[in-house]
Amino acid sequence: MSEAIVLGAGMVGVASALALQARGHQVVLVDRREPGRETSYGNAGIIQAEAMEPYAMPLGLGDLFAIAARRTNNVHWHLAALPGMARPLLAYLAHSFPARHRAASVIYSQLIRRATSDHAPLIEASGAGDLVSRDGFRQAYRSARRMDEAVKEAEHLRREYGVGVRVLTSDMLSAEEPALRKRLEGALHWTEAWSSSDPGGLVAAYADLFARRGGTLATGDAMSLARHGAAWRVMGDAGPIEAENVVVALGPWSPQLLARFGYPVPMLRKRGYHRHYRQTTPLRQPLMDTETGAVCSPMRIGLRIATGAELAAFDAAPTPRQLAFAERRVAELFDLGEPVEAEPWLGNRPCMPDMLPVVGRAPRDAGLWFHFGHGHQGFTLGPTTANLLAAQVDGERGEPLAESLAYRF
């Protein structure tokens, strides 16, 4: 019998397997697909060392009206989906007010501070250095008002957390990013962030490291999880897999599984899209066109345009309205070239109402462990929260940060 099963081979699950393995556990990593091909594949590829405060719901009347009237590309919503999302949406709104958001940021910033240092040894050991740039990323602004607001917020983050940031004027941005063919008001250059030219490939490289160190990769059905005597059992393609401990790291699919065991998980799933384009003049760094709600990331297969948040039913058909708008606006800035894929990619970000991931033991079931709900930052925080989880599996106590992330619903 294996000591631990990890369900889900995205960044969070692969990092969980590596962290448990490093502590001497025999681990089987189970997914229905090869590692790094679901949610972790589709992000903007940025390890966000600057994201000290989680994404809050806008509270300004102007911003709320723009969302309600569908006048912003940052958020798109489907009326039919909103009743089913009412509980997590209202809770997310409550946690976006200043006092609660500050409390969450105290915890969140501690996680973010560790992110790059927790990725670094995995990048080196996996030989994936060619997939990672440590030059930061830029947030660009089209209007002077938005640029001024962003500079004030950047100063707050620099004072409060010591975040590294440069303010780029229009001339500086044009000089540093030759691919731009339209002048913008300026940009913020977050200097401590890292980025990957192949996020799914980086996860796969970490999974290969896990396998080289003696771990087992298995294809199977996570939804088959069940108690089998004193153990947990999941059905793999090659037969049943059993272990004393099982880690649920299924991202947006976690609530579906855990509802069977009596654990309500009020997750808010934010859908996002991306597509790649054959650029003739590649970007030097990822660039967020903030007023378009799109992140443009140079990838090995082309320029990736990733969209903001769409609120839709989990199994609803794709409606890439935001991506189509982003394509038109980003084409004003860069020579996009032809799309690489015939159809855009679609995935879900697993966001918890209090904006913090769920990391730790299940309250009622021995050997059942939770590791999900990282929202926009699973790619960034996977190795960090995996280390916190592995310490708990080994019975270590006294880490207040870990206690703040326990199951709380």
Cα(295)–Cα(282) distance, rounded to whole angstroms?
14
And the tokens for 172?
Answer: 């500086």
Mind listing the pLDDT tens digit for each residue in 114-136?
Answer: 999 999 999 999 999 999 999 99
Residue ranges of domains in the chain, CATH in brackets: 1-59+97-127+196-266+352-409 (3.50.50.60), 63-94+128-195+267-351 (3.30.9.10)
* 8 burial level (CB within 10 Å; 0-12, 13-18, 19+): buried
How far is 14 from 158, CA to CA, in rounded Å? 32
Bridge pairing between strands 294-299 and 302-306: antiparallel
Q: What is the pLDDT of residues 306-333, one digit of tens each?
A: 999 999 999 899 999 999 999 999 999 9
Read off the pLDDT band of 187 (50, 70, 90): very high
Confidence check: pLDDT of 233 > 80: yes
Computed over every residue of the chain, the mean pLDDT equals: 96
* 393 pLDDT more than 70: yes
What does the pLDDT read at residue 399? 77
pLDDT (mean) for 252-268: 97
Q: Can you state the angle between helices 378-393 and 11-22, rounded to 10 degrees?
A: 30
Q: What is the DSSP string of 171-221?
A: HHHHHH-TT--S--SEEEEETT-EEES-HHHHHHHHHHHHHHTT-EEEEEE
Tokens of 167: 């303010």
Overall average pLDDT of the 206-221 stretch = 98
Rounded to an integer, what distance in angstroms lies between the CA atom of residue 377 and that of residue 50?
Answer: 11
State the virtual CA torsion across 242, 248, 249, 253 in degrees, nearest 10. Answer: 110
**Structure confidence at residue 395 (pLDDT):** 93
Nearest to 11 by CA among 375, 409, 393: 375
| Residues in Cβ contact with 317 at an 8 Å cutoff, skipping those fewer than 6 apart | none
Nearest partner of 350 among 272, 267, 266, judged by Cα: 267
Residue 104 has pLDDT above 90, yes or no: yes
- Reduced to 3 DSSP states, what percent helix, strand and coil does the chain have, rounded to the nearest 5? 40, 25, 35
For residues 395 and 378, give the distance between their C-alpha atoms in angstroms, rounded to a whole number: 24
DSSP for 336-356 reads --SBSSSS-EEEEEEE-TTS-
Q: How far apart are CA 396 and CA 238, in angstroms?
A: 34
- Tell me which residue has tokens 């002048």: 183
CA distance 4 to 22: 13
Which element (helix H / strand E) includes 206? helix 199-212
Tell me the one-letter amino acid at 209. Answer: L
Hey, what amino acid is at 361? R
- pLDDT for 15-59, tens place per residue? 999 999 999 999 999 999 999 999 999 999 999 999 999 999 999
- Band (pLDDT 50/70/90 cuts) for residue 1 is low
